[in-house]
Amino acid sequence: MRVPLNLAREPFRRDRPILIASALTGVLLFVSLLILISIAFSERRVARQEQAELIVLNRQLAQTRAEQATLDREMRLPGNGIVLDRSILINTLIRRKAISWTRIFADLATVLPPNVRVVTIRPQVNAREQLSLDMTVAAETPEPVIGFIAKLEGSDVFGAVTPSGITPPTQNDPIYRYRLTVTYAQKL
């Protein structure tokens, strides 16, 4: 019979795997620390560059604002106001003359069904120099107008259609009238 006898003060433990795992974890943590430090330095360098660019842009903006203020002061002079009003009027007239009615009717003829009539057309130019047509169309039944709207939206020249009103038939006027606003891609 064998009795295990240990004369050491502390019993034997297998600490080597734990020490190796701790050392590897320490090395991994140190490497990640170095990576994080390098990322922090590169971010700081990028932040300095962006700050310098922002300072340059702010100086340019201040200079542009000063030039705009100078131009605004000149435009507020009594003699310049008359010239400005006249140029706005002339530019508005030129924009109105730039609308080609022949081209509008030619483009509408490609999508207009035979049983739909165009009653009124009013071209309108918005602030972004985009042309839209405010028009009233009429038909004996609603179906041809719905088909007309689908053809307008599917066209390359016309864009989104916004219906703004429907007038049903009456005893004196037996047709449906639809008021539509459609974007139009005619260059001004």
Indicate whether 112 and 178 sit together in one domain: yes
Please identify, among 44, 76, 108, the residue that sits at the C-terminal boundary of a domain: 76
- How many CB atoms within 10 Å of residue 105? 12
Domain coverage including residue 105: 100-184
User: Torsion over CA of 99, 103, 108 and 110, rounded to 10 degrees?
Assistant: -160
Indicate whether 54 and 113 sit together in one domain: no
pLDDT truncated to tens, each residue of the chain (188 aa)? 677 766 666 766 778 889 999 999 999 999 999 999 999 999 999 999 999 999 999 999 999 999 999 988 887 887 887 888 888 888 888 877 778 888 888 889 999 999 999 999 998 877 777 788 999 999 999 899 999 999 988 888 888 888 988 888 888 888 999 999 998 887 55
Indicate whether 172 and 117 sit together in one domain: yes
Compute the distance between CA of residue 51 and CA of residue 45 in angstroms, rounded to an integer: 10
Domains: count for the chain = 2
pTM above 0.85, yes or no: no
Residue 89 lies in a domain: no
| SS3 (DSSP) at 141 | coil
Residue 94: what pLDDT?
Answer: 80
**CATH code where residue 114 lies:** 3.30.70.2830
Residue 11: what pLDDT?
Answer: 66
